[in-house]
Amino acid sequence: MSDTALVIMARYPELGKVKTRLAKSLGDEATLTLYSAFLRDLAQRFAGWICDLHWAYTPDTADFASFASTLVPVNRLSMHSFPQQGPELAARLHHVFLSTCLDGFQRTIVISSDSPQISRATVERAREALDHFDVVLGPAEDGGYYLIAMREPYDVFSDIPMSTSVVLQMTIEKAHDQGLSVHLLEPLFDVDELSDLERLAHLLRTEQELAPATAACLAHFTKELA
């Protein structure tokens, strides 16, 4: 067992239930295929690595563990899954840190499943930063964050309006109000809208290795439209 839990917040891939904003432009079936590719890229990058990989999934009735085992069969036993708990995202994030702390992990790094291009190097920088800082954040360009890491389950989530442009700033302020030190990583963009997907497609045309399954999926879409 590693001393670090890497937790990916994910939704079980169901038609019409994933990336709904993107689906308005792309369609439900194409969006489901794309989101499944996101999860495959993340699993292949982080399963069996230096951190213990966990999936915090929703809805809680889904058999996410069986699905996850198909993403990287060779490393299926190195992955763990547990349902998200809480009425909204802030509570669910806090619960993740409470759970991993109870499980004995000294560090917890949580990432979203909306940035399949996130690298091992970025996660490793977050892990190393926890030697010197209480809270590590990866700023998303929409004002939120794509990564949050802590050694203890500090409550830097309550009363913050998630999925708004003030999430990052309010989280930093909430941490500072508790006397916690904060370190910021490099910014990264989430894929929520068609413009974000176009940006990711442009990136993967020259750096396919960042998210191979997603790159192949986007290439297939392009051929279909040609």
Write down all domains in the chain, each with its CATH number in brackets: 4-225 (3.90.550.10)
Q: Report the percentage of the chain scoring pLDDT > 70.
A: 98
pLDDT tens digits for range 36-60: 999 999 999 999 999 999 999 999 9
The dihedrals phi and psi of 98, each to the nearest 5 degrees, come to -60, -40
Q: Supply the pTM of this predicted model.
A: 0.95
pLDDT tens digits for range 183-198: 999 999 999 999 999 9
What span, in angstroms and rounded, lies between the C-alpha atoms of 19 and 166? 21
Q: Check residue 225 and give its pLDDT.
A: 44
222 has pLDDT over 70: no
Beta bridge partners of 8: 55, 111
